[in-house]
Amino acid sequence: MKTEKITRRGAIRKMAAVAAGVAVSGHMPALASVLASNSRPEDADGLPQDGPTVSTLKMEDFPLVYEGPDVVFHKLDDHLWIGNGHLMYNESVYLVEGEKSALLIDTGTRIADLNGIVAQFTDKPIDVALTHIHPDHAGSVGCFDHIWMTQAEGVSVPRGYTGKVSYMDNYQKFDLGGRTLEVFYAPGHTPDSVLFIDEANHIGISGDAFGSTNLLMNCTLSTFVNTARDTLAMMYDKKIYYMLPGHFDGTNAETTKRVYDLLNIAQGVLDGKLEGEPARGNLNRIYTYQGVRFNYNDRLIR
Ligand SMILES: [Zn+2]
C-alpha cells in the first residue's frame, strides 16, 4: 500500500516536472513543513503533497496573435488562445477550438467587438461560458446572444444582459469535436465558480477559483476546503498539470502543489492555527504565501 502510493506520487511528480520543464526537488513542500505539526494527520495522509509550486509557463514564449486597445491575444497551442485585458489585472479570456465548435471561456471587463476578434481565430461556431459572473469576467457578454453560466444562491444574470442564458450542470461536457471541456463546480471565491477541465490535454481553466494571484474568499472557508480537496483529487486523477487562471500573467498557472497549499491555508485558518494580517474592506484578513494572497472575512471562518 505504502510502496504503491510512493510510486504513484513519484510518477506524477515526474510527469508534472516534464510538463513544467523543471526539475522538482524531492523535498517536502515548505508550507507543508510549516504546517506539519498543525495539519490533521488524516488530511496529510490522504492527499498528494508534491509537484512544482509555480509553473514555468511564460507568456512571451507564446506567439502574439492580436493586439488591440482592449485586449492582447496569445496563442497557447494550435487550438487554444488567451486574451488578456488590462482594466483590472490581466483579466483572461480563453478560446478553445474543436473540430466542430469552439468555446470562449469568460469575456473580460470590457472588450469592444470581442465576438469579432475571436472570430478571427476560428471559423467554428463559438459558444460562451463563464467561470463566474464577476464583472471582470462577464463584462463583455453583450457581444454574444447566448451564454452559459452557473446557477447558485445569490447569483443573477450579468447586469443588463438580454440574450439567452443556459445553466451548466456539474460535470457537464462541452464536446467541441476532438476536444472536450468538462465543467467542475468549485465554490469558494464565489458560489458560482466553476473550472473547465480539458483532460486529454492535461489542463484546466480555473477562473478565480484558485488564486489568480489573489484569492478572494466570498464563501465560507469550509466550502473552499471541500472544493480544494475535490479539485486536488480530480487533478491527480485526471493528470491535470496546470489550471490557467482568470488573471493569468504568464507565470501563475495553478499547480497541484498550489491547490494543496491553498487547501492547507484555508484548513489552517479554519482550525485556528493560522491567522491572516488585518486588511481593509469586507475581506478583512490576508494570509500571504509564495505569491498568493489569500483574502478572507474573519466572520466567515466556519
Ligand atoms: Zn472573480
pLDDT per residue as tens digits for the range 64-118: 999 999 999 999 888 999 999 999 889 999 999 999 999 999 999 999 999 999 9
CA angle, corner 82, sides to 53 and 224, nearest 5?
A: 45
Ligand 1 centroid – CA 132 distance (Å): 7
Ligand 1 centroid – CA 139 distance (Å): 11
What domains, with CATH codes, occur in the chain? 2-300 (3.60.15.10)
Within 8 A by CB and 6+ apart from 123, the residues are none
Ligand 1 centroid – CA 201 distance (Å): 25
pLDDT of residue 217: 94
Phi-psi region of 51 (alpha: psi -120 to 50; beta: other; left: phi over 0): left
Helix-helix angle 256-270:221-238, to 10 degrees: 160
- Write out the residues surrounding ion ligand 1, Cβ under 5 A: 134, 208
The identity of residue 279, as a single letter, is: A
Separation CA 15–CA 235 (nearest Å): 13
The answer to whether 80 and 94 are in contact (CB under 8 A) is yes
Residue 29 φ then ψ, to 5°: -60, 145
pLDDT of residue 53: 63
Separation CA 204–CA 199 (nearest Å): 8
The identity of residue 252, as a single letter, is: N
pLDDT of residue 39: 34
Ligand 1 centroid – CA 161 distance (Å): 18
Low-confidence ranges of the chain (pLDDT < 70): 1-57
Separation CA 234–CA 197 (nearest Å): 10
pLDDT of residue 5: 39
pLDDT of residue 55: 63
The answer to whether 168 and 204 are in contact (CB under 8 A) is no
pLDDT of residue 29: 35
Ligand 1 centroid – CA 50 distance (Å): 27
Ligand 1 centroid – CA 136 distance (Å): 7
3-state secondary structure of 207: strand
Ligand 1 centroid – CA 160 distance (Å): 18
